[in-house]
């Protein structure tokens, strides 16, 4: 049976992890490659690197981080942040990323999704959507960290990028993000039910039951989380055990 | 023993090269039959379209080369599209012939309510023939990483070494015949279990 995936996300700027990662067993908790190796050992199902400054100078640093990570970690790796062209995508994929994430650049230039899918296959293209509740059962798409509304309905936008060839949606609830009060289950279920590609739920994980809820009631295919794992509140193995106890299919820890 | 990775100009070879290097190999990248040299074990990784992959292999003279290689039962490891092209044809590109070294066809998942396509993520592969040379020491239901919308349907059931189920659909997750092994999942992205499989192959 297909397992639900657990995906730690590392925010990176200038080649360093930001927001902090507090693994006691790391020599340098700011080095994204070391953090990635630690999660690989914990048997995370995938990894996401998010380049949060994403200037063009920074991209070369990121390419190097991706290359060094891919030499050590044999799990799928997604890289997002600052990817604005097919050429940017190619750079990351050639360095060893398995998928690339686009967010603002897809909103400003939706044909980038088509072009990426055509050049590398849909399975490589993850569209990240930042959504904010605007009314009952209605969410708008935002960019710039949730500050700028772009006038799109989140469910409709997800359908459009699916049609354009996206292989997966990384869906962040701006209302829940950072609250540790749980994912937005209603939003996740609305998007997941509307499209035929997997949805990664993001934003709001405070405990393991939050993850189970969004995978179950929220119909998500994967959960993304940062601080809950970075600060060792829980390990990946604990999460998997908890999921299994609650009947969520997981890849067993081996 | 020396490993080679077939480069048909379409896929990203780095992941498989990284996996082989972690196992102490120094793989040769092979874009034409002349580059094979003294390579003993060939791997063909792939993420790509069936028709496009076959066309590129033919342009480089690699299609007939591979047919001979496999016909002589030399070690071959096919991944994803490198698995699919072994068969006669595919629903993905009905006008294109595969290598036809294994009988069968490649089909697309049929739609099911709530079933996401592509099949993406970690899924188990149930061994059907116990421990073969390549499929040894993996346990009863090892998990591997999959990402695909099409899968082979071998006409010779004896070739099948593992079965995978997605939704209500069960397909041949891997085949093994003589020194040929091929799988729909990505061992190079499947951590220790995947590396173990590749190591087993290098031992044949």
Phi-psi bin for A43: left (phi > 0), alpha (psi -120 to 50), beta?
left
Domain ranges of chain B: 3-202
Decide if B97 touches A, using CB distance below 8 A. Answer: no
Contact (CB<8Å) A121/B49? yes
pLDDT of residue A219: 97
Low-confidence ranges of chain A (pLDDT < 70): 19-27, 54-56
Nearest CB partner across the interface for A43, out of B47, B139, B191: B191
pLDDT per residue, tens digit, chain B (204 aa), is 999 999 998 767 899 999 999 999 999 999 999 999 999 999 999 877 899 999 999 999 999 999 999 999 999 999 999 999 999 999 999 999 999 999 999 999 999 998 999 999 999 999 999 889 999 999 889 999 999 999 999 999 999 999 999 999 999 999 999 999 999 999 999 999 999 999 999 999
Q: What is the ipTM of this complex?
A: 0.93
Nearest CA in chain A to B14: A96
The per-residue pLDDT for A119 is 87
Taking CA atoms, what residue in A is nearest to B143?
A: A251
- Contacts B145 to A, Cβ<8 Å: 75-76
Q: What is the pLDDT of residues A143-177, one digit of tens each?
A: 987 788 999 999 999 999 999 999 999 999 999 99
Give B-chain residues touching A42 at CB under 8 angstroms: none
CB contact under 8 A, A198 and B120: yes
Question: Which chain A residue shows the shortest CA-CA distance from B15?
Answer: A96
CATH code that applies to domain B3-202: 3.40.50.880
How does pLDDT run across A45-70, given as a tens digit for each residue?
Answer: 999 999 988 666 778 899 999 999 99
Tell me whether B117 touches chain A (CB under 8 Å): yes
pLDDT of residue A235: 92
Q: Which pLDDT belongs to residue B133?
A: 95
Contact between B189 and A168 using a beta-carbon 8 Å cutoff:
no
Cβ distance of B123 and A1 shorter than 8 Å: yes
B41 carries an active-site annotation: no
Q: Per the structure block, which two tokens stand in for A108?
A: 């400003």
Choose the catalytic residue: A31, A45, A51, A130. Answer: A130
Give the pLDDT score at B195: 97
**B58-68 residue pLDDT tens:** 999 999 999 99
Which pLDDT does position A144 carry in this prediction? 80
Answer yes or no: A130 catalytic.
Answer: yes
Shortest CB distance from A3 goes to which of B121, B147, B193?
Answer: B121
Distance from CA of B54 to the nearest CA of A (A): 16
Nearest to A2 among B121, B189, B192 (CB): B121
CA separation for the pair B26, B202 (Å, rounded): 12
Burial class (CB in 10 A: 0-12, 13-18, 19+), B26: exposed
pTM > 0.80: yes or no: yes
At A227 the pLDDT is 84
Can A11 be counted among the known catalytic residues? Answer: yes
Question: What is the model's pLDDT at position A174?
Answer: 94
Read off the DSSP letter of residue B66.
Answer: H
| Test the B interface: residue of A41, A74, A95 with most B CBs within 10 Å | A74
Alpha carbon distance B43, B150 (integer Å): 20
pLDDT of residue A21: 63
Q: Are the C-beta atoms of B117 and B166 separated by less than 8 Å?
A: no
């Amino acid at each position: 049976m297909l397992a639900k995936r657990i995906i730690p996300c590392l925010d990176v700027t200038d080649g360093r992890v930001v927001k902090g990662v507090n693994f006691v067993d790391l020599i340098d908790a700011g080095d994204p490659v070391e953090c990635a190796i630690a999660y690989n050992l914990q048997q995370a199902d995938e990894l996401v690197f998010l380049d949060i400054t994403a200037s063009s100078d920074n991209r070369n640093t990121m390419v190097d981080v991706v290359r060094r990570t891919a030499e050590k970690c044999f799990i799928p790796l997604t890289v997002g942040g600052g990817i604005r062209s097919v050429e940017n995508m190619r750079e990351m994929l050639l360095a060893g990323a398995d998928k690339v994430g686009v967010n603002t650049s897809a909103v400003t230039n939706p044909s980038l999704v088509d072009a990426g899918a055509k050049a590398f296959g849909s399975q490589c293209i993850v569209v990240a959507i930042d959504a904010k509740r605007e009314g009952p059962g209605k969410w708008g798409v935002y960019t710039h960290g949730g500050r700028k509304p772009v006038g799109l309905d989140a469910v409709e936008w997800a359908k459009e990028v699916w049609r354009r060839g996206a292989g997966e949606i990384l869906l962040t609830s701006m209302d829940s993000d950072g609250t540790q009060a749980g994912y937005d289950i209603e939003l996740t279920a609305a998007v997941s039910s509307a499209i035929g590609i997997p949805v990664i739920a993001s934003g709001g994980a405070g405990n393991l039951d939050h993850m189970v809820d969004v995978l179950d009631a929220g119909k998500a295919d994967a959960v993304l989380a940062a601080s809950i794992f970075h600060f060792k509140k829980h390990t990946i193995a604990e999460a998997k055990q908890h999921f299994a106890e609650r009947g969520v299919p997981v890849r067993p820890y081996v | 023993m020396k490993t080679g990775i077939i480069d048909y100009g379409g896929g990203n070879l780095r992941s498989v090269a990284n996996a082989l290097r972690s196992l102490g190999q120094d793989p040769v990248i092979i874009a034409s039959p002349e580059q094979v040299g003294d390579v003993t074990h060939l791997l063909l990784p792939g993420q790509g379209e069936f028709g496009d992959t076959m066309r590129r292999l033919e342009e480089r003279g690699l299609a007939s080369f591979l047919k001979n290689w496999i016909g002589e039962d030399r070690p071959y490891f096919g991944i994803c599209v490198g698995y699919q092209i072994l068969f006669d044809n595919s629903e993905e590109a009905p006008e294109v012939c595969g290598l036809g070294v294994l009988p069968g066809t490649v089909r697309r998942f049929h739609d099911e309510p709530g079933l996401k396509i592509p099949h993406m993520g970690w899924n188990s592969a149930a061994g059907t023939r116990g421990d073969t040379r390549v499929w040894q020491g993996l346990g009863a239901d090892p998990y591997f990483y999959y990402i695909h919308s099409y899968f082979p349907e071998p006409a010779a059931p004896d070739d099948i070494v593992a079965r995978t189920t997605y939704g209500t659909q069960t397909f041949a997750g891997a085949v093994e015949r003589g020194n040929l092994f091929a799988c729909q999942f990505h061992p190079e992205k499947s951590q220790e279990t995947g590396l173990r499989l590749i190591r087993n192959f290098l031992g044949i």
